[in-house]
Amino acid sequence: MIEEIKKLKIGKVLEKVSMKEYTTYQIGGIVDAMVFPKDKDGLITLLRYLKEKSIRYKILGNGSNVIFTDQDYHGVIIKLDAFEELSIEDTTVHVGAGYSLMRLAIKLSKMGLSGLEFAAGIPGSVGGAIFMNAGAYLSDMGYIVKEIEVLTPDLETKVLYNNDLDFHYRTSFLKKNPEYICLSATMVLKRGNAKEIMEVLENRKQRRLLSQPLEYPSAGSVFRNPKDDYAGRLLEELGFKGKMQGGAQVSEKHANFIINKENASYEDVRTLIENIQKEVLKEYKIELVVEQEFVE
């Protein structure tokens, strides 16, 4: 399989890659191949081959919202890192799906464009952020994305508009239909004062450093907040802060973060998450929904 993919000459191909190096949890087994298509045509050629051969594959952004099993992944991980085009016309921004969301937010903020400030601390890709409708500070991608270009399951390109994308709290049309692949996005922002925007970003950065366990591998918030409440508050009230399961720990700084403290395994994290869900359901009759994706 790997030799055949290399013959397609569609971009970089890595063999026997550890997913620990490509996920923010630093957890995961060995994947057969990781492919970095150099452009849209290369991606289409690759997907056509994988579908014809019935080979398992997954599109991966920055690996900041996934938990990979420690078992080997027999298939292909596709990274769209080369999809990094960026053009800015007045307040309209066109950007590739592989562009770093954090880097984009900081760049646009420095230019005095307002609307993406919430994303300055989110370590995902643009495509991944749209997929899960990433957000913070009472805003999310649904407020600023005008349209996206996607590759359909039939390997045709199509434009989906904001109304098509069904943005809701930490979900979207793409999350419910993962065979559609985001290639690029068009966002509409507003003019603002660059100095004031950067001050907001700096204040939030300092607050994150104080309140989030950024010194440890994690994948950000584990659970969606229940209606009119906060998952972190429920976990703290139940005494989960600092709770260990193998090498995984509920952060002592923020109860809605699970950190890889001591070479945690996939099972450590999954077991800890499931134990929390059971306890919250038992005590509060609330079913906590996991924001992160398990990949087995």
- Catalytic annotation, pick one of 117, 147, 149, 291: 291
- Catalytic annotation, pick one of 64, 100, 221, 251: 221
Catalytic annotation on 252?
no
Judge whether 222 and 258 are in contact, CB under 8 Å. Answer: yes
In 3D space, the residue among 86, 214, 190, 76 whose CA is nearest the CA of residue 139 turns out to be: 190
φ, ψ of residue 70 in degrees (nearest 5):
-75, -15
The amino acid at residue 34 is M
Q: Which SS3 state, helix, strand or coil, does residue 18 take?
A: strand
DSSP type of residue 292: S
Query: What is the C-alpha separation between 142 and 168, in angstroms, rounded?
Result: 8
Query: What is the C-alpha separation between 135 and 124, in angstroms, rounded?
Result: 11
If one counts every other C-beta atom within 10 angstroms of the C-beta of residue 236, the result is 15
- Catalytic annotation, pick one of 114, 147, 170, 172: 170
In 3D space, the residue among 224, 230, 231, 253 whose CA is nearest the CA of residue 241 turns out to be: 253
Catalytic annotation on 156?
no
> Which structure tokens are listed for 5?
């993919």
> Which structure tokens are listed for 93?
């921004």
Catalytic annotation on 184?
no
Per the listing, tokens 């994305």 go with 145
Give, in degrees to the nearest 5, the angle at Cα 213 between 207 and 217. 135
- 194-211 vs 101-110: helix crossing angle, rounded to 10: 140
Q: Are strands 113-114 and 86-89 parallel, antiparallel or unpaired?
A: unpaired
Any idea which residues carry the catalytic annotation?
A: 170, 221, 291
